Amino acid sequence: MSWEEMYTCSATCPCGKGKITQTSYGDDWNRYKDGPVVIECEECAKKYKVEEVTHHGLLASDGSWSTYYLTPKDYPDYEGPKESDLYPATRNQYQDFPVWLIENYTEDELRGVLNQLKNTTSSAKLTGIAAGIREAHKKAKKTVRVGEIAKTVEAALEKYPEHVGNKIQREEIRKKESDARAAYVKEKRKHQTVIDLQR
């Protein structure tokens, strides 16, 4: 069960007087893990922090790997638009089914679903979005009765106008946030250096 040190990679720190190191470990089960990247130079440790960015391969079998960046300690955090500043945390279908509907479907989509529900006696005949909502309803509410699903959708439509953070509102802020974060990271990279750890 114990991890054994395998090897330590290192790089020269920015001032040139010390080292940045990372030790890798292995165990009896042929599992491996990398320890933290440590700035061993006192001077540079005062000025920089290490940021780890994990990359994932396209396939699960490609695994993941990390790039480590030296970042000036006083570099500001992201302060741009955030969904979480504007709206409360999203609810899932188990916590609050009507709110989940509001946050994931437009008012028009839900009216379309209600229309399908009003015109059928069997939820097995529902198609498209309505079929998806039936499946979610089955899991969360343990029923696929048309009348029960219709009640839930009606509850969502009733709350829709005053609910803060519906699907379209959230999509808008998410787009803004992801654009702003991409710009923030692009700028930050100009102030960082990749730590080139060598065995």
What is the contact surface with Zn ion in residues (CB under 5 A)? 13, 15, 17-18, 41, 43-44
**Order of strands, sheet of 193-194, starting from the edge strand that comes earlier in the sequence:** 48-56, 64-72, 193-194
Nearest approach, Cβ of residue 192 and Zn ion (Å): 16
The residue (of 47 and 170) whose beta carbon lies closer to Zn ion is 47
Smallest gap from Cβ 43 to Zn ion, in A, equals 5
Q: Please identify, using beta-carbon distances, which residue of 13 and 156 lies nearer to Zn ion.
A: 13
Q: Which of 81, 91, 76, 103 is nearest to 188 (CA)?
A: 76
For the bound state, the minimum distance from the C-beta of residue 12 to Zn ion, rounded and expressed in Å, comes to: 8
Q: Which is nearer to Zn ion, 17 or 189 (CB)?
A: 17
- Tell me the C-alpha to C-alpha distance, in Å, between residue 173 and each of 82, 84, 163, 181, 195: 7, 9, 16, 12, 34
CB 146 within 8 A of CB 117: yes
The residue with its CB nearest to Zn ion is 41
Shortest Cβ distance from residue 175 to Zn ion (Å)?
41
Specify the residue, 18 or 112, whose C-beta has the smaller distance to Zn ion.
18
Q: Which of 93, 103, 105, 91 is nearest to 142 (CA)?
A: 93
